[in-house]
């Protein structure tokens, strides 16, 4: 095989061909390229209608009101708008946030910034399997708590938090619940008409859509007066100024509709692939699958190999496999995973952990070849270590 096999879908997914086609129709003079705010002419009206149709389509899948969705540049901005926007709003008088130590940096670093300006943040440590203990979460709530922010699916381990159970437990509390659904949207069913989530962040490039576009759901948006992160035009109800990228919004909505339509098929496919590669890797001694193996997304596997460092494994397999150690939120860095460390994982299991993630366009042949490459390289590196 001349090209490496791409197994880093948790970092970003390849764009669906249908999405690329829909986007190109919004880019040139012959298409709907105009500024959606230019309602003085038909070009702008057509672009505006495409944006609003996309908003309705996304809302239909999430089962929420279309005007409760605010378009952003992705989940990172949506997380910032949700957390900072609520914390710094004129309405908010409280100073305490609860989150977890295994959140994405977009949440962790946002919370750290708020700590620097006087807020208090509780970073809950998960159980060894990566799951948040509900009793510990409830015990952390004080009269100063105004927000709980937790991710639905962890980007490094694939662990699925019981968001529905947590939301119901928080429903009678005087606080809001924010969910980072970057890794779950388009892969798990999210029904906002049934789950009392107050704010939810999604990102188009995690479900075969374009990069640079996402959205924030704000339940009863008109009542939640978030402080905007930027000032400018009045776009997105004054919460997110700037010319709306029609092509990206159309692309995200197209990708989300495709994902909703093929949800069961995609999940069956990734479950089958996960079984294939797990069976291959289990033939090795000293293999550890990190995190709960039942309550997880099949398409993300976090695995450690005794006596093999993840950096050595990734460097030596670079021309064959595109895998990761941890997340892609620390650009270009290779370091021990803070997520696994928060789960109490140390030593070889921490430093030998790699993330394998796959999806709709991964094939059985890809996965079987990847499993064989990993198997052979682990044995080779262990033998080298013995000879030194």
Cα–Cα distance measured from residue 259 to residue 151, given in angstroms and rounded to the nearest whole number: 20
CB atoms within 10 A of CB 204: 32
Return the structure tokens found at 153.
Answer: 């699916």
Q: Work out the pLDDT band at 326, boundaries 50, 70, 90.
A: low
Q: Work out the pLDDT band at 331, boundaries 50, 70, 90.
A: very low
Query: Long-range pairs for 190-193 at CB < 8 Å and ≥24 separation?
Result: 190/62, 190/152, 191/62, 191/63, 192/62, 192/63, 192/64, 192/217, 192/219, 193/63, 193/64
- What's the mean per-residue pLDDT of the chain? 94
Query: CA torsion sign, 209 to 299 to 149 to 66?
Result: positive
Lookup result for tokens 């929420």: 64
Lowest-confidence segment of 122-136, 236-250, 328-342 by average pLDDT? 328-342
Which residue among 111, 215, 329, 373 is the active-site one? 329
- Domains of the chain plus CATH, in order, are 5-13+262-387 (3.90.1150.10), 17-261 (3.40.640.10)
Q: Is the Cβ–Cβ distance between 13 and 155 less than 8 Å?
A: no
- Does pLDDT of 246 surpass 80? yes
DSSP characters for 104-159? -HHHHHHHHHHHHTT-EEEEEPPPTTSPPPHHHHHHH--TTEEEEEEESB-TTT-B
Q: Work out the pLDDT band at 335, boundaries 50, 70, 90.
A: confident
- Residue count of the chain: 388
The share of the chain scoring above pLDDT 90, in percent, equals 90
Return the structure tokens found at 157.
Answer: 């381990």
List C-alpha distances in Å: 186 to 107, 150, 195, 312: 21, 18, 17, 33
**179 secondary structure, DSSP code:** E
- Does pLDDT of 268 surpass 90? yes
DSSP characters for 200-264? EEEEGGGTTS-TT-EEEEETTTTT--PPPSS-SS-TGGGTS-S---HHHHHHHHHHHHHHHHTHH
State the helix-helix crossing angle for 246-261 and 263-281, rounded to 10 degrees.
Answer: 70
**Separation of first and last alpha carbons in the chain:** 31
**pLDDT, position 3:** 86
HSE (side-chain half, CA atoms, 13 Å) at 205: 16
Largest Cα–Cα separation, the chain: 75
Tens-digit pLDDT profile for residues 174-209: 999 999 999 999 999 999 999 999 999 999 999 999
Query: Long-range pairs for 309-314 at CB < 8 Å and ≥24 separation?
Result: 309/351, 309/352, 310/334, 310/351, 310/352, 310/353, 310/354, 312/381, 313/352, 313/354, 313/374, 313/377, 313/378, 313/381, 314/354
Backbone angles phi, psi at 255, to 5 degrees: -65, -40
214-218 and 199-203: which strand pairing?
antiparallel
Clarify whether 215 is annotated catalytic.
Answer: no
**pLDDT, position 188:** 98
């Amino acid at each position: 095989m001349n090209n490496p096999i791409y197994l880093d879908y948790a970092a970003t997914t390849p764009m669906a061909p249908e999405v690329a086609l829909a986007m190109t129709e919004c880019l040139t003079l012959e298409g709907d390229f105009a500024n959606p705010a230019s309602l003085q002419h038909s070009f702008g009206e057509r672009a505006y209608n495409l944006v609003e149709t996309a908003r309705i389509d996304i809302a239909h899948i999430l089962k929420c009101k279309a005007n409760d969705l605010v378009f952003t540049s992705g989940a990172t901005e949506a997380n910032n708008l949700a957390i900072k926007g609520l914390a710094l709003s004129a309405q908010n008088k409280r100073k305490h946030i609860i989150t977890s130590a295994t959140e994405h940096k977009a949440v962790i670093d946002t919370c750290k910034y708020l700590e620097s300006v006087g807020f208090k943040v509780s970073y809950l440590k998960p159980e060894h399997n990566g799951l948040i203990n509900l009793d510990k979460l409830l015990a952390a709530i004080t009269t100063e708590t105004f927000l709980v922010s937790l991710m639905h699916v962890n980007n490094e381990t694939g662990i699925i938090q019981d968001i529905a159970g947590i939301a119901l437990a928080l429903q009678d509390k005087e606080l809001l619940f924010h969910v980072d659904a970057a890794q779950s949207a388009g892969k798990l069913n999210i029904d906002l008409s049934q789950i009392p989530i107050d704010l939810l962040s999604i990102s188009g490039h995690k479900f075969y859509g374009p990069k640079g576009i996402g959205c924030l759901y704000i339940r009863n948006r008109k009542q939640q007066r978030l402080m905007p992160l930027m000032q400018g035009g009045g776009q997105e109800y004054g919460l997110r100024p700037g010319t709306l990228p029609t092509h990206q919004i159309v692309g995200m909505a197209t990708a989300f509709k495709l994902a909703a339509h093929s949800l069961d098929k995609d999940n069956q496919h990734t479950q089958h692939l996960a079984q294939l590669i797990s069976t291959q890797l289990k033939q090795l001694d000293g293999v550890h699958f990190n995190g709960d193996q039942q309550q997880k997304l099949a398409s993300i596997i976090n695995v450690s190999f005794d006596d093999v460092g993840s950096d050595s494994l990734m460097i030596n397999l670079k021309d064959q496999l595109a895998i990761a150690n941890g997340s892609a939120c620390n650009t270009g860095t290779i370091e021990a995973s803070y997520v696994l460390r928060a789960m109490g994982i140390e030593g070889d299991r921490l430093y030998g952990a790699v993330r394998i993630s796959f999806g709709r366009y991964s094939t059985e042949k890809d996965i079987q070849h990847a499993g064989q490459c990993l198997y052979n390289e682990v044995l080779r590196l262990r033998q080298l270590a013995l000879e030194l």
